[in-house]
Amino acid sequence: MPKIIFIDQSGNRKEVDAPVGLSVLEIAHRNDIDLEGACEGSLACSTCHVIVDPEWYDILQEATEDEEDMLDLAFGLTHTSRLGCQIIMSDELDGLTVRLPAGTRNMSL
C-alpha cells in the first residue's frame, strides 16, 4: 500500500498508509492528523491547505481553476501549495510528503 508522510508545524514526521483513491484530507482524518477540512472536501474552503514537498509537486495533477481560487484564500500560501481534498492518492504518489501550514484561515465561499 502507498504511504504518505505528513510533517506538522513542529517538524514532526508521521508516515501513514495512503489507500489508493482516497484524498490527502481523508487520509489525514483517518490518522488523526490535524488537517481541518471545514467544508468536508467539497472545494468550498481552504482549510485543508498543505504544502507539497517540491520533489512531488510536479507529479501531481494540475490544480483546477476552482482549486486555485480557493488557494488564494489560504494562509501561508507557497508555490507548492495545494488543497488536501484535491490530491487523490495513487501508486505513483507512494512516499508523497506534505507539510501542514502554520495556520489556517476559514474564508469559505
> Which tens digits make up the pLDDT trace of 27-84?
999 999 999 999 999 999 999 999 999 999 999 999 999 999 999 999 889 999 999 9
Q: What is the pLDDT of residue 109?
A: 43
Confidence category of residue 108, pLDDT binned at 50, 70, 90: very low
State pLDDT tens for residues 1-25.
999 999 999 999 999 999 999 999 9
Note whether residue 105 is domain-resident. no
User: Could you tell me the CATH number of the domain that includes residue 61?
Assistant: 3.10.20.30
48: in domain? yes
46: in domain: yes
In a domain, 65, yes or no: yes
Which residues, 6 or more positions from 37, have their beta carbon under 8 angstroms from its beta carbon?
25, 28, 29, 45, 47, 48, 84, 85
Position 91 in a domain: yes
Range of the domain at 72: 3-99
Residue 102 pLDDT class (50, 70, 90 cuts): confident
12's CB contacts (< 8 A; 6+ apart) are none
pLDDT of residue 91: 97
User: 61 lies in a domain?
Assistant: yes
**Within a domain: 106:** no
Number of domains in the chain: 1
Task: Please measure the distance between the N-terminal and C-terminal CA atoms of the chain and give it in whole angstroms.
Answer: 35
